[in-house]
Amino acid sequence: MKQPLFKGAATALVTPMKEDGSVNFERLESLVDQQIIAGIDALVICGTTGEKSTLRYDEHVKVIEVAAKAASKRVPIIAGTGSNDTVYSVELCEDAETAGADAFLMVTPYYNKTSQDGLVAHYSYIADRVNKPIIIYNVPSRTGVSIKPETYARLAEHKRLVAVKEANGDLSSVATSRYLCGDKLDFYSGNDDQIVPIMSLGGLGVISVLSNLLPKETHDMCEEYLNGNIQKACEMQIKYTGLINALFSDVNPVPVKTAMNLVGMDVGPCRLPLYPMNEATLSNLKEKLRECGFSL
C-alpha cells in the first residue's frame, strides 16, 4: 500500500496577478499562509486554476518556489507539471523538485493526445525519471482523452504513480477503477460537486477550486466524511452546490478569481485568452456568494 499524499482537501490555488498581468508574488505568499491557517490539507500550485498554460517557464518555476517557501513544509506542495510533451514534463519536474515541490500533478497529454497504451508509456517514462510521487489528472473535458479503469490498473503498478485526480464526471467509471486498483492507487475528486460521492467510493478527498474561497469549509466537509459523519458531509455538499455551479459557469479560473476579487481577496485578473464573465453569469455568481454569507 502506498502512503497517501494527503487526506482531505487540497486547494488548486489561483495564481494572483497584478493589473498589468504580471504575477503578484507577495500576494501569493499571503494566500498560501491564509489557506494553511484555515486548515487546508495540501496545495496544488500551477494547475489549471493557477493558469499554468499562460505562465512562462521561469514564472512557473518561481511560483512553485515562492509557494513552497511560504508553506515551509506545513502542508504538501503539489506542483502542476503535466504536458503533452513527455520529455518537457520530466524537465519541469526536475526544476519543480529543486523549487521545493513535494509531489507532481500531471494532466493527461492534450491536443496531440494519445492511446491508452500511450498513456501508460507517457506516465511510466516520467515516473521512471523523477524522484517525487505523481498524481495523475484525468479531465477529458479539457484534454479530449480519458483514462480507462483498466489503464489505471496498469499505471497503479508503478511505485511513483500514487493517486488520481478524477474529473471525468463518471461515478460508475470511478467505482470500476477503485475495484480494479484496490489500494494501489488513491483517488481524489477533481470536481467540487462530487466530493462526497467520490469519497463514498473510497476517495480520500478533493483537489478543489471552491476552497480558494472556502478553505475551512471544504476541509471540514472532507473531515466530517472521513470521521464517519456522513450526513453532515452530505449537508455541506448540498449547501454549497449553488456556489460550486456558479464557479464553473464560465471557464475556470475566471469565475473563482472574479469571486475572490468581489469578496476582497485581491487576486487580480486572468491572462488572455481567459476573458471576464458576462453580466448574466456574473449576476448569478454574486447571488450565490451572498447565499453563502459573503458580503460584496
Domain with 12 in it: what CATH number? 3.20.20.70
Q: Note the pLDDT tens digit of each residue in 115-160.
A: 999 999 999 999 999 999 999 999 999 999 999 999 999 999 999 9
240 domain residue, yes or no: no
Q: Note the pLDDT tens digit of each residue in 225-280.
A: 999 999 999 999 999 999 999 999 999 999 999 999 999 999 999 999 999 999 99
245 domain residue, yes or no: no
Instruction: State the residue range of the domain holding 79.
Output: 8-227
| Number of domains, the chain | 1
Q: How confident is the model at residue 2 (pLDDT cuts 50, 70, 90)?
A: confident
Question: Pick the catalytic residue: 52, 132, 165, 288?
Answer: 165
Question: Pick the catalytic residue: 123, 137, 152, 188?
Answer: 137
CB neighbour list of residue 254: distance below 8 Å, 6 or more residues apart: 270, 274, 275, 276, 277
Please indicate whether residue 137 is annotated as part of the active site: yes
**pTM across the whole model:** 0.97
217 domain residue, yes or no: yes
Q: How is the chain split among helix, strand and coil, in percent rounded to 5?
A: 50, 15, 40
Taking the C-alpha atoms of residue 97 and residue 216, their distance in angstroms, rounded to an integer, is 28
251 domain residue, yes or no: no
Neighbours of 265 (CB within 10 A): 18
pLDDT surpassing 70 at residue 1: no
pLDDT averaged over the chain?
A: 97
275 domain residue, yes or no: no
Please indicate whether residue 165 is annotated as part of the active site: yes
* CA angle at 166 for the pair 165 and 170, rounded to the nearest 5°: 175
